[in-house]
Each structure stands twice: as structure tokens, then as C-alpha cells.
A and B are shown apart, each in its own frame.
Chain A
Amino acid sequence: MLFKILGKREFRSFVDLVMSSNEIIAPKRVGTKASGEPIHQFLPVSSFEEMDLDYKTTEYSAKTYFLPYRENLCTFDFGDGDWQQDISYRIQPRAIIGLHAHDINALVKLDKVFIRGRFPSPYYLSRRRNTFVVGIDHFPLEDEFSRSMGTHIVTHGFDLFLTDLGDRYFVAIASDRGFNLLMRVDAREVTDDDTHDYLEVRRRIRDGFKTHISVHSLPNLLDLEFTSEVWKKWGEKCLSCGSCAMVCPTCYCYGVSEEVSMDFKHATKTRQLYSCNLLDFARVAGGHNFRPDRETRLKYRYYHQHRGFMEAYDEPKCVGCNRCGRVCLAGINPAAVINDLYEEYRECPLSFTPTT
């Protein structure tokens, strides 16, 4: 990896340069909570001032720019007792500036699902390759546990990654297009002092995590605890609203539906992001539901995050951003649920002790 130093003024020139020809998505302040805390979302911005790179978190993740909540897969045109299928992909390039490390790692996980493997998705691939990703380091919120998930450090999946050193940015460069763009503004070489300051910031970030969960033994624990009362306890709270999956940067499951136009000349096939907590997620024709209970569906979501994804990709699907915990209307958050599972084994001499 190449590193450069970019002054704050030069960074502004860089943003203006990108904005002169491409759409930019960035964290934007959209409101204020009752507590006085600002609310941010990833939205298109039209000036440098609209971006707020000091944001703590966004309510929604940026996945919608890669996996939109609704996306047309194809259309069918009817005529003469026959039909024709038409498929198109989004190919307009754009930039996302200000993704935190765990959100970029979330994209890296989605890449594994949608780009690698036997059936890469041209829809996802087209959006991913057409998005210029600029990340930025941040100091974690109290409830974030991305250090436990190993996602507070990012090594690929972006074009440029910034670390704020006060008067300048330490820039990691992970692509040739990132390098070429950076060369058009006045970026300078890294000195020993820069590296020293950078490592100091990295250390403070690492030490800033307050919430920890133990993930290493989770796959086995989840199997052992498949019939645990813990699921009943949390399942009874769950409202099956699906909010957790909507805000999650890695939840990708979806449903496909079709709609016919009012004049019966066209039909549209749409993919819509779904949630495994919704009642009909696993219901089949004829009415049988493989997961009729709230607790079963809640358990399944944890199962996929920490057991299923682990089995498929040797890493958990969760990145520890805790957006789901914050959005949950019933007060369910992953650190509490998982630590509850460990609690069952507290008396056991070989218990899995959560590391703190």
C-alpha cells in the first residue's frame, strides 16, 4: 500500500475536483435527536460544506448505494401473445466519501457474497466498480464493538482511506484510480513525524472501544445453545419489524416480486431487500412456514451473522457497528444477546469467557 499526506486545504481541492464531474455521496447532517445529538445519513451532497466528516455514525448504512432497497432486475414487454425481456445495469460512476472502516469492511463482506463465487451479480458488480470509495478513520461510539469483530482496521475494498492528523490527512491509497486522482492535487510524501502521529491516532482508536464481545467460540456456542431459553427471552421482545436488517451494512437477503403496468403492456421484476425477522420470510406456497415464531426468526438472524457466514467465509457477517442495536424499538442489541448466551455457561469450568 502507498501512503501520502494531504493538507486539509488540498483535500478540499480534491473534493471539488471530484465534484466537478461526478456525484458525491457523503455523511450529511439531516436533523437533531431529542438528546441534542445530530442525525447523519449518507446522501448526495452538492458542496464541500454539506459534508460532515466528523460524523459519529449514520442511521442507515451506505449499502443502499450498492444494494438498493428496491432495484429493477428486468422488465418484460408484452405484445402479440409473446413477451421480450430487457435488462439494464447502473453504470454511472460516483464517489462515496467518509465511510468508516467497519462500513468498508461491510462492503468487502458483500463483495464475497455478490462478486465471488459461482454466480456473481452483475447488478452489484456494476455499482461497486462504479463507486469511488474514500474512507475515514473515526473514534468509536461507546456501543460499537467493531474491534471485537476485527473490522476496525481496513486493508482493502476502498480507493483512498483518510486518517485525520489535525491539520492534515494521512492517506492510504489502494487503487490506481485513487492514486491518479490524488496526484492531481498537491499530495506530499510521508515523513517519520507523519507516521508517528498516524500510529498514535490508530492506537487511540484501538483503545477507544468500550464494548466487547467474544466471537471466537460463537459458531460452536450457537449450535450448543440452539434450544436455549435465551432465544425465548429475546424473541418475546422482538417486534419482527425488520429494522435491524434495514440499517445493517451487511444484511443482504431479499425478495423478488413482479408488477404489471396499468396498461398491461409491461411488467417489472423488482428485487427488494427483506429481513429474516419478517413473518413470511420462509413461508412457502401452501402456507407452511419454516420459521413461524419470532424467537426462531431472531435466532436465525444471529445464526446467519455468526455461524452461517462464518462457515461460508471464515468470518462473521457482523461488523460491530451496532446500528441494529440503536434502531431496535424493543431494545435488543447484539452485545447483550451474545453475552447472554455466554452467561448460560458462566458456572462451567471450561466456560467461554467474554474478553474485555
Chain B
Amino acid sequence: MPALIHAYDVRQEAEMNQALDFNRRLTLKPVAKVFKAEITNVIRLTNMEKLFHLRIVDDADRQRFTFLPGQFVMVEVPGYGEIPISISSSPSNKGYIELCIRKAGTVTGALHRARRGAKVGIRGPFGTHFPLEQMTGKSIMLIAGGLGLAPLRAPIYYVTENRTEFQDVHILYGTKSPDQLLFDYQYESWRRIGDVNIQIIVEQPNDSWDGPVGLITELLDDIEVDPDETFAIVCGPPVMFKFVCQRLSEMGIPMDRMFVSLERRMHCGMGKCCRCNVGSTYTCTDGPVFDYWTVINLKEAI
């Protein structure tokens, strides 16, 4: 019988695996300083979303820049403003990131007008990550709704690049209509990795759609999991992850093994400006990745 109270192994914390340096006690930094980054590619995904490839200009900064899947950066467009964006690329890329950005406001509007070669600033990475290091040896369900595929793409890269570390891998993705599907050119490559179950569902099909139709929770009906050996990462709007996580709960997966990513307004990224507070929690430093148990205990989270 598996243990009812799970062991917490402190050695799994990311900091425990960094080089030991007792001298490193100074945390004061010029916190407003941005890394200058060049837009090296702009890829149109849908009418609303573009994928930006960014490369940090300074060699030393680029060498040092690393991130964990689920973390975000503050993107600075000088003169326009600064916005939080989840990193959408593989964490194994050093100093080079991809950001999937929907045109929604002033700064994203300016970014959508920017061309290859333009320079923007980035600060970060900030926030918590999907604890994939805890999921080693387990099955993993990666579930996204709508724009939620943007933050989910980083853990998808991590899992597919380290496929042997996991048991069953399911990627489930749903949108309202087929023309809203992000990264549609990549599904085939993820599928061909082999032994990755990828399923796409839409609510409102068009004439060319021949895949499943319905809500994303319906994809879970055909999936068998061992609840004690399965983790889930769920990204999407609150109404979506609420229903998905409820369904996963019914399947027996404990709430502290489901992870979601929250979105809020942010003006600093460092637990100061309070704009991202959910109840009393800072989405920027305590999140954006939370386990579902924490989320349902946050007042006004869903």
C-alpha cells in the first residue's frame, strides 16, 4: 500500500542542486535593470497571437540567463510599458526565449507592430515553476485550454526532451474553434516522438475539422491513469482549470499533484506592487504556478 502521507524530500528543491556558495548572501540588485534582447523572429500563430523569438544581446547576460518551465519574464517595450509574459520555449535553450503574445493592450499592440531586429528589454525570470523534478518516474498529464498552451509549451518541451524520465505522457489541448489552435504546426512532431498521447478538441468545429468536438474534460473520459503515480499540469482560463481539476480529483489524483498557472495584472514581478495579489498571496513570487489545493484555498482565485 502506498504511503498515505507523502514524504517531502528537501533535496528535490531546485536550490539544493545549485553549486554551494556560502558567500552568496547579497540579494540587493538593480531591480529595474533590463536585459536588452533582440527580436530575432516573429511567427504569426493566429489572427490574435504571435510567437516572438528573443535573444539577449549581451554575451555574459545571455550565458547566465536560465529559467525553469512555468516561470515568466517582464517584457519592457521602452516608451510603452512593461508586461508579464510566460516563457513558451524549452528551458534547455540558454539566453534565448520564445514568447507567445496575444494582442490585447498597449504594450502587446506595440509588440505586434515590432519587426525582426527590434530591441526590447526583459527582466526575470520570475516566479515559481512546474516542479517537474518531483514528477520524475511518474505519469504526467499536460492539459491546456486556449492561450494556456503558451505557458504549457515549456513543460511540454521539458517532458519530450526528457521522455525517458516519465511514464505515460498525455497532452490534451482544447480551444473554442479550430482557427484559435496555437502551435498547430507542432502537434505532429510531438506525436511522432512516440509514446506521447496527444489529443486536440474544439467546441465549435468548422467544415475542415475532423477531430473530436466538445469540452476538454471529455478527453479525460477515455484516459486511464494510476492516480498514485500521476501528476497533472493544467493551464487555461480559471473556468477551464476548475472543471478539469474537479474531473482529475474524481479520477483520484490528489489536489497537491495538480499544478495550475494563474494570471494577474503585474507591475513589478517582485512581490512589491500588490497588483497581482489574490487574497493575500502574490501571484508573481508565490506563483504563478500553484498546486490546486493552494488555489482553492486562495480567496477570490477562481
Contacts and interface: CB of A to CB of B under 8 A. Distances in A.
Interface string B289-300: 000000000011
Contacts of B80: 258
A73 interface: yes
Contact of B104 (A258, A259, A285, A296): A285
B277 A119 contact: no
Given A122-B31, A257-B81, A286 B104 contact: yes
Contacts of B108: 285
B32 interface: yes
A123 to B, nearest CB: 8
A260 B274 CA distance: 26
Interface string A273-292: 01010000111111000110
Interface in B2-31: 27-31
B299 A118 contact: no
Interface residues of B, number: 40
Given A304-B274, A308-B280, A119 B31 contact: yes
Contact of B28 (A125, A255, A286, A290): A125
Q: Is the interface of A mostly helix, strand, loop or mixed?
A: mixed
A120 to B, nearest CB: 5
A122 B267 contact: no
A91 to B, nearest CB: 14
Interface string A97-119: 00000000000000001100111
Nearest to A124: B272
| Most chain A beta-carbon neighbours within 10 Å: one of B265, B274, B281 | B274
Nearest to B38: A82
| Most chain B beta-carbon neighbours within 10 Å: one of A252, A281, A282, A296 | A282
B83 interface: yes
B273 A254 contact: yes
A48 interface: no
A113 B277 CA distance: 14
A255 B272 CA distance: 10
Contacts, number: 123
A286 B80 CA distance: 17
A44 B117 CA distance: 49
| Most chain A beta-carbon neighbours within 10 Å: one of B271, B275, B300 | B275
A254 B30 CA distance: 18
Nearest to B147: A286
Contacts of A53: none
B268 interface: yes
A267 B299 contact: no
Contact of A255 (B105, B267, B277, B279): B267
Contact of B279 (A121, A122, A267, A308): A308
Interface of A: 73-74, 76, 78, 82-83, 85, 87, 113-114, 117-123, 125, 223, 226, 252-260, 267, 269, 274, 276, 281-286, 290-291, 296, 300, 303-304, 307-312
25 contacts: A73-B32, A76-B79, A83-B119, A85-B36, A87-B33, A114-B272, A117-B271, A118-B285, A119-B271, A122-B28, A122-B30, A253-B275, A267-B79, A274-B275, A276-B277, A281-B265, A282-B264, A284-B265, A285-B83, A286-B104, A290-B278, A300-B300, A304-B277, A308-B280, A309-B280
- Across the A-B interface, the 4 shortest Cβ-Cβ residue pairs: A308-B280, A253-B274, A119-B270, A285-B105
Interface of B: 27-34, 36, 78-83, 102, 104-105, 108, 119, 121, 263-265, 267-268, 270-275, 277-281, 285, 299-300
